[in-house]
Amino acid sequence: MRKPIIAGNWKMNKTAAECRELIAALAPKVKDATCDVVVCVPFTDIAAAAELCRGTNIAVGAQNVAWADCGAFTGEISAAMLVEAGAEYVVIGHSERRQYFGETDKTVNARLVQALKNGLSPIVCVGEMLADRESGKTDEVCRTQVTGAFENISAVDAEKTVIAYEPVWAIGTGKTATDEQANETIGHIRSVVCELYGKKVADGMRIQYGGSMNAKNVAGLMAQPEIDGGLIGGASLKADDFAIIVNAAK
């Protein structure tokens, strides 16, 4: 049995003061959750979020991590810095980073190495563009992204990693993959993990769906056997909506 994991991706939203308000409102609403609950907040909110989440069942995550320990990498934040600030998780390779900031499978892999080396729990994002889906290339794109992300990653480390399947055309658009589409592609991703690491790792790995997941569609998605939770953008910014999603993930 895989324990579901629901992670909010706040993207570039919420100042530290707003972060405190949101977590204070969220914590009592999700205190009885049976899934893992994570909020992936902007870098500048991590310390405040960690302070507020102490003693609750909510873990704090970052939205990126540098591929180096330290050095001349202006604008980057190292894994050690994230850990010290209170992050336990980190999102790597989100499609917005791939689209706007030149993230590639190679840099995703390097960031994954760094996260694992420092004890962060990575959430690695993969997913196809609309044109890929329309031309029947969804499985091929996901295979390339998963294989690239996990290059030279050991089975022990792979087991600690969560994959988020996020069709790019469903992110922030209000369009959700159907329950069956999401389940089928996640099943394919699991088969790629099985080819790389064997059945035990593939069966144990948690693979989330992400892309306009919300309070209305969560039940259908979570009822699918391959879907182990969600990475949630827009709906994670409202305590009531995010709590409904968390409490539906059983």
Residue ranges that bind ligand PEP, judged by CB under 6 A: 9, 11, 166, 171-172, 210-213, 231-235
Q: Which residues contact 27 (CB under 8 A, 6 or more apart)?
A: 52, 53, 56, 58
Q: How far is residue 63's CA from residue 61's CA, in Å, rounded to a whole number?
A: 7
**What are residue 60's phi and psi, to 5 degrees?**
-110, 140
Q: Which is nearer to ligand PEP, 169 or 197 (CB)?
A: 169
Give the residue at shortest CB distance from ligand PEP. Answer: 233
**What are residue 37's phi and psi, to 5 degrees?**
-120, 130
Query: Which residues form the catalytic set?
Result: 94, 166
Q: Which is nearer to ligand PEP, 83 or 232 (CB)?
A: 232
Q: Which is nearer to ligand PEP, 71 or 174 (CB)?
A: 174
Q: Minimal distance in Å, beta carbon 198 to ligand PEP?
A: 29
Q: Which residues contact 92 (CB under 8 A, 6 or more apart)?
A: 64, 65, 108, 111, 112, 115, 122, 123, 124, 125, 149
Q: Minimal distance in Å, beta carbon 239 to ligand PEP?
A: 16
Q: Minimal distance in Å, beta carbon 181 to ligand PEP?
A: 15
Q: How far is residue 201's CA from residue 133's CA, in Å, rounded to a whole number?
A: 27
Q: Minimal distance in Å, beta carbon 210 to ligand PEP?
A: 4
Q: Which is nearer to ligand PEP, 146 or 197 (CB)?
A: 146
Q: Minimal distance in Å, beta carbon 142 to ligand PEP?
A: 15
Q: Tell me 237's DSSP state.
A: G
Q: How far is residue 6's CA from residue 2's CA, in Å, rounded to a whole number?
A: 13
Task: Please name the residue ranges forming H helices in the chain.
Answer: 16-29, 46-53, 79-85, 95-100, 105-117, 130-134, 138-149, 155-158, 179-197, 199-204, 218-222, 239-248
Q: Which is nearer to ligand PEP, 123 or 202 (CB)?
A: 123
